Structure 1
Amino acid sequence: MTPTRPRCPRLAFTLAFSFALWPMLAQADGVTVRYDAEASPFPSNRYTVPDFGNATLRRVNLPKPDCAIRPSDCADIDVINTLDGFSTQPRITVPFTGDIDPASVNSDSIYLVNLGDVLTLRGFGQRVGINQVVWDPASKTLAFESDELLQERSRYLLVVTNAVRDASGKKLKNADFLGGRDAHLRELRDALPMARGGGRAVVAASLFTTQTATGDLLKIQRRIKAGTPAPMNFMVGNGGAVRALFPVAGLQGIQFNRQTGTAPTFTAGFLPTPALQVMPGAVGHVAYARFDSPEYQNAAKVIPPTDTLTGNPRPLGRQALTAQFFLPASPRPAGGWPVAIFGHGFTDSMYGAPWTVASVLASQGIATLSINVVGHGGGAQGYLNVLPTAGAPVQIPAGGRGIDQDGNGSIDSTEGVNAAAPQTIVSSRDGLRQTVIDLMQLVRQVEVGVDVDGDGSRDLDPARIYYAGQSFGGIYGTILLGVERNIKAGVPNVPGGSITEIARLSPSFRILTGLSLATRQPVLLNLPPTPELPVPLNFNENLPLRDQPPLVNTVPGAMAIAELLDRNEWVQQSGNPVSYAELIRRDPPLGHAAKPVIVQFAKGDVTVPNPTSSAIVRAGGLKDRVTYYRNDLAFAGNPGIPKNPHTFLTNIGVAAAAPLAVAAQTQIAVFFASHGATVIDPDAGGPLFEVPIQGDLPEGLNFIP
């Protein structure tokens, strides 16, 4: 029998060809992760080059845009490309060929796998989830952060599975991400067996290496320990003619002539000597001395980068710093008084907060020691006039570290702590690190011997050095506690990190973020002025806080702002206290002991918002060490309590808040007096202090309206 021929051969061929192509058409019609010249998952080692001088064996090599159109981005990339890896708290972006269902994005469908420290394989196999998820329909890009701080100097595999669904609920299709023969793709292929899809197909992946964050300060610490500095010089009164040691009972006052202009011009005021009587008679003497500290910052207020494996940061000179002492009135122990270094906050100086805590510390037999932060305390020509009740005034260099960085003739309260243009992305990273270097040098001075009164005996005990600091002092203090081995216990008060996140979330500092967006080329501001922000510095980055549902972005310009904020945080990680928190107790550096600490912070802090404090605690595994001040309860019980609890430790001048300040200070003093063994509840079991914090770490802002 002769086969029947199709009536329409062309139609039959078309149908047969279509069926043959069906698998490929289905694949083409599905949503996949993009891998092309314009977009692919980030971060990725495809944007690095080999560099065997670095501990990561890499160096970042981002391409530049058109620098005539985007000069600010080019200036930032010049700094980024000196780093040896990607951020340890990265904002990860994944572009798609179509729309996805954001509700399908979670730590089961997308996650990270740690492939270990590049040199030691430490951390190999650890799985890390994701958080703060944003879906941007306009660009079809998914953005999120790692759920925890990533280990530095380590390789991470980003895994995207088909548990992520497209907008119609279908599984993602497999992306062609292994084509090519370059070294990065070979490394990615070798890493894929670690993806462990949990029964889900792996449809896309990326491999990246995290940066070295803590190495420079640990190297500098070792260099400082290897040196033996000259003793501190207390003969600094009246040009070297008078020992700067003054009994509190014989003080009429101390006038601070702060240099506020380059003319030079000065602003006069008196130091808060009445604060020394919070515990009457506890402080016996105030003293001042000078010492030299190595200067690692250049004129632009940047510490020049060095190879993170084979290199060593080198000092560019030395600087003379002024130190301020408060000595207890109690008899000096045989080995000298225990000493607490106290770090002041942003815009403050050693002539502010340290005075408010010295009396309570002295009541427990603890001396207080402080210096000015980089960029703080006015200009270098500032001076003190010590006015004794009997005898002539004594003039002392005030140790101001501010500079006229912008050339306008004035010296503002923090001028010089940030890096100068075009390296503004560095921000306060190296001002913080230089301050830590100065504090490590101060510790070394105490170790070799401090003789305040000139009798040939030690006045401070080198075996009992402690640290406490408020706000900015809690920030650089957390870094110090991570890298300085001879501080025996510490109390960071209201610390937070990163600085980028503090500035973004805090109403007190958000205008500074707006200013940075306004001064970029091109400008990144994306909102018109409001009554609260009448100047054109308004913006909306549209980023969720931790543990919130995925956010669908509908704000034009928000993704560009979020990318910039991520780059800022990336560059500044070596000056971020979150990077050093683990070194304090959970994983101390080689040769260091774990330190007892208390982390004091307050619910609803407006200046350093709660999520930034929680970030430090979470990274350091320090939740059991948190003392949480419930300002919401305190304010509800007494409206005389400030709504913003940021200065709860030092509010001795506010009648309603003073008892709480003394109580929090007493917790610190008893902790140090016991060598870090005793943690008291500041309100003795009352509701205003949780010791330790109860429930989950606060991830909301919790501001009192």
Structure 2
Amino acid sequence: MTFKRILTTSVVLAAPAFALAAGVSPRFDLASPAGSPFPSDRFTVADFGQKTLRRVKLPLPDCTQLPSDCADVHVINTLDGFNVQPRLTVPFTGAIDPATVTSQTVWLLNLGDTLTGHGFGQKVGINQVVWDVATQVLSFESDEQLQEHTRYVLVVTNGVRDTSGAPIESGAFGKFEAALDAAQARNADLAAYRKLLVDALRSCGTGPRIVAASLFTTQSTTSDLEKIRRQIQRTKPAPVDFQVGQSAAGPVRANFAVADVAAIQWVRQTGTAPAFTTSFVPTPALAVVPGVVGQVAYGTFRSPNYLNADIVLPATPTLTGEPQPLGANTLTAQVFLPAGPRPAAGWPVAIFGHGFSDSVYGGPWTLAAVLASKGIASIGINAVGHGGGPLGTLNVVRNSAGPVSVPAGGRGIDQDHNGTIDATEGLSAVGVNSIVSNRDGLRQTVVDLLQLVRQVQVGVDVDGDGAPDLDANRIYYTGQSLGGIYGTALLAIEPALKAGVPNVAGGSLTEVSRLGLFRPLAGAYLAGRKPSLINLPDPSGIAFFENIPLRNLAPVVNQVPGAIAIQQVFDRNEWVQQSGNPVAYAAALRKRPLAGNAAKPVIVQFALGDVVVPNPANTALVRAGGLADRTTMFRNDLAYGANPAVGKAGHTFLTNLAVPAAAPFALAAQAQIATFFASNGATFIDPDGAGPFFETPASTLPEGLNFIP
């Protein structure tokens, strides 16, 4: 054998040993979102009509094999950037030690708002780490909500170790950072991305060696509602019309002295035949503080409608575009006026937003008396998809005369064409737009409340004497559950609101549904995807396991088939729905007010162990807004321990007057709100003083579920 052949043979035999000895590195194939750190502006295109100057352009999957994923990507590609609470992924060439993945070895660096440069240099850590054994993909969330329309660089350092304890290497990323190869150099978009990424890395300073990175821009979340508010403010609407009652004698003003109301029957439209279901409005709730509510009235007004038939607010460029009304809706407002002489400027007024599956004929009645006892009127409307169908009516039974019929203002529709109108039907997009979910139903509800604020500003004359009954300079907002969710966005957008109290609010709604009582709805959604993502054998057909840890826990090593696919779907849902997520608006309440707004006095009320809006969703809102000092936590665990009749759920502690054991806590929480508004947001009382059942502010932000067994 010649020397040349011996040398050649030695090299060939040594090759496998060399490959095995090569260190683990992040994969860096920018041909696919799964082949490199993600998110990445590599998967966007230039779009100078957007505040980000970019628009997302993910490659479509096989639409025959993955029709649900395909439909999702079509919607995602209308957005101008990536999730502001992203689940980031980094694929590797081999196994790593997930215990070495921390905020000191992997982090994000803020490169500044694309319009103002605000936030440049802020370092953001990571949380909720998952290592997937089968795919060798690391995933994690940013430790906090990111700023909208802002550039970030994701940094992975060699502080991350492989399973032998060796530092990971730069591999393909190192080559890309050093220079483009011939094929890459011919790709203008890739070359442009490399230049931006290399420039971004210069901002990272000295420290551990960077072995992988990704540059991405977050989406705009508040733009549409900001623009719509300005559109509404440029108009002078017709006043609220209270001449909407029908009696045997003809039309009458729908303004009733509470002392004259024997009952109010709600004839709710529940089917298209049409079919109706009757019940009674909880008028006895006004008696919790006797004699303080003087009048209840009903009036209609017109509000611009931005939703298309698919319950979607069509996308427009976030910088240069303007959302366009597609018509208008006639809405019914319910007003409670305090007893006694009206103040010269009218009564201060609190808008109340009702919860999911409730209506203006539920929750608002439970607060009206306590608010009125502090001289505060209250007003509300049905949210999109709530209150039954549009043919519903109220029959006001009077002591002094015959009944009066009033339009109930139901906003439900028979969306699935099965002949019935369910309690929330019409709130959410379905079909190919199902990833949008209730994002735009919530935003349209905010639009309607912006219009209601404008109606108060131009003058609400309930009794027809020519003078406004509501003070246009003292408008407040409080809302329970879903009302706290859409109400947080309203408070962030509308400068005319002087103070607000979101109650048991939180987000994202993807997190709310997967963590709490609505988890079966999340399972049904996963089961309905094509192909189904259900990954647990269970007779229900909707049980699943996504294997995402709660915050501040050790990394999860995932070996559950299908869990990663579910994680991706949940992340994409949250991404698309961010402009309807209260957490995306929380910073604008006080920390970073939007243009034309000032920091607002707020209180965030929540219950420890809430099973409907679980604590991690509550605290996400509080952390995003920097509102820990403005919290009130109801210790439902202590209340239940003292008297089990209070119940375990905790969610309805503000409105639960019907349960005698729970009613004192409801009245105490309501008194905090009423006192806060009566002082124009200056007085922040503890609902039970030195008692143990309310913490003001909360002693800790609970990141666990804390459900009562």
Quickly name the TM-score band, shorter chain normalised.
Answer: over 0.9
2:576 pairs with 1:571: yes
2:638 pairs with 1:629: no
Residue identity matched to 2:475: I
What secondary structure sits across from 1:187 in the alignment?
helix
Offset at residue 21 of structure 1 (A) = 9.6
Residue 255 of structure 2: aligned partner: 245
Residue 87 of structure 1: aligned partner: 83
Counterpart among 163, 166, 172 of residue 176 in structure 1: 172
Residue 160 of structure 1: aligned partner: 156
Counterpart among 523, 534, 557 of residue 514 in structure 1: 523
Distance 2:580 2:239 in 1: 29
2:290 pairs with 1:286: no
Offset at residue 653 of structure 1 (A) = 0.8
Counterpart among 25, 46, 50 of residue 32 in structure 1: 25
Matches within 5 A, 1:178-577: 178=176, 179=180, 180-181=184-185, 182-198=191-207, 200-238=208-246, 241-506=251-516, 508-529=517-538, 534-577=539-582
Distance 1:16 1:377 in 2: 80
Residue 703 of structure 2: aligned partner: 699
What secondary structure sits across from 2:506 in the alignment?
coil
Cα 1:50–1:252 change in 2 (3 A) is same
Distance 2:204 2:8 in 1: 41
Residue identity matched to 1:100: I
Distance 1:96 1:356 in 2: 56
Q: Deviations for 1:532-567, whole angstroms, at most 9, x for unmatched residues?
A: xx4211100010001001000011000000000000
Offset at residue 175 of structure 1 (A) = 2.4
Stretches of structure 2 lacking an aligned partner (at least 5 in a row): 186-190
Contact 1:260 1:412 in 2 (8 A): yes
Distance 2:11 2:519 in 1: 61
Q: Deviations for 1:303-329, whole angstroms, at most 9, x for unmatched residues?
A: 000000111111111110000001101
Residue identity matched to 1:184: Y
Offset at residue 26 of structure 1 (A) = 7.4
Residue identity matched to 1:669: A
Distance 1:74 1:311 in 2: 26
Residue identity matched to 1:32: S
Residue identity matched to 1:640: A
Offset at residue 218 of structure 1 (A) = 0.7
Q: Deviations for 1:488-507, whole angstroms, at most 9, x for unmatched residues?
A: 0000000010010000001x
Distance 1:431 1:47 in 2: 29
Contact 1:546 1:699 in 2 (8 A): yes
Distance 2:294 2:396 in 1: 16
Residue 188 of structure 2: aligned partner: none
Cα 1:312–1:28 change in 2 (3 A) is farther
Residue 3 of structure 1: aligned partner: none
Residue 679 of structure 1: aligned partner: 684
Q: Deviations for 1:601-621, whole angstroms, at most 9, x for unmatched residues?
A: 010000000000000000000
* TM-score when normalising by structure 2: 0.95
What secondary structure sits across from 1:216 in the alignment?
helix
Offset at residue 10 of structure 1 (A) = 5.4
Offset at residue 217 of structure 1 (A) = 0.5
Counterpart among 621, 637, 640 of residue 645 in structure 2: 640
2:137 pairs with 1:141: yes
2:33 pairs with 1:62: no
Counterpart among 576, 585, 592 of residue 590 in structure 2: 585
What secondary structure sits across from 1:241 in the alignment?
strand
Distance 1:26 1:554 in 2: 26
The count of aligned residue pairs is 691
Offset at residue 195 of structure 1 (A) = 2.6
Distance 2:11 2:423 in 1: 76
What secondary structure sits across from 1:422 in the alignment?
helix
Distance 2:519 2:610 in 1: 14
Residue identity matched to 1:172: I
Counterpart among 88, 109, 114 of residue 105 in structure 2: 109
Q: Deviations for 1:130-149, whole angstroms, at most 9, x for unmatched residues?
A: 00000001000000000011
Offset at residue 222 of structure 1 (A) = 1.0
What secondary structure sits across from 1:473 in the alignment?
helix
Residue identity matched to 1:443: V
Cα 1:408–1:252 change in 2 (3 A) is same
What secondary structure sits across from 2:646 in the alignment?
coil
Distance 2:10 2:609 in 1: 68
Distance 1:109 1:272 in 2: 57
Offset at residue 589 of structure 1 (A) = 1.4
Q: Deviations for 1:408-451, whole angstroms, at most 9, x for unmatched residues?
A: 00000000000131101000000000000000000000001011
Offset at residue 15 of structure 1 (A) = 11
Distance 1:615 1:175 in 2: 36
Distance 2:146 2:295 in 1: 47
Counterpart among 102, 115, 119 of residue 119 in structure 1: 115
Distance 2:14 2:415 in 1: 70
Distance 2:171 2:277 in 1: 65
Residue 665 of structure 1: aligned partner: 670
Distance 2:394 2:117 in 1: 54
Distance 2:299 2:55 in 1: 43
Residue identity matched to 2:209: A
Q: Percent identity?
A: 63
Distance 1:292 1:330 in 2: 30
Contact 1:330 1:365 in 2 (8 A): no
Offset at residue 119 of structure 1 (A) = 2.1
Q: Deviations for 1:568-592, whole angstroms, at most 9, x for unmatched residues?
A: 0000000000010011111111221
Residue 132 of structure 1: aligned partner: 128
Offset at residue 8 of structure 1 (A) = 8.2
Contact 1:161 1:197 in 2 (8 A): no
Distance 2:651 2:696 in 1: 18
Cα RMSD between the aligned structures?
A: 1.8
Stretches of structure 1 lacking an aligned partner (at least 5 in a row): 1-6
Contact 1:602 1:630 in 2 (8 A): yes
Residue identity matched to 1:227: T
Contact 1:195 1:202 in 2 (8 A): no
Instruction: Single out whichever of 218-227 and 432-441 deviates more from structure 2.
Output: 218-227
Q: Deviations for 1:108-147, whole angstroms, at most 9, x for unmatched residues?
A: 1111111111122111111111000000010000000000
Distance 1:682 1:437 in 2: 32
Distance 1:107 1:542 in 2: 21
Instruction: Single out whichever of 25-34 and 430-439 deviates more from structure 2.
Output: 25-34
Contact 1:384 1:396 in 2 (8 A): yes
Q: Deviations for 1:341-385, whole angstroms, at most 9, x for unmatched residues?
A: 000000000000000010100011100101000000000000010
* TM-score when normalising by structure 1: 0.96
Distance 1:224 1:428 in 2: 22
Distance 1:479 1:617 in 2: 14
Matches within 5 A, 1:65-80: 65-80=61-76
Distance 2:666 2:42 in 1: 52
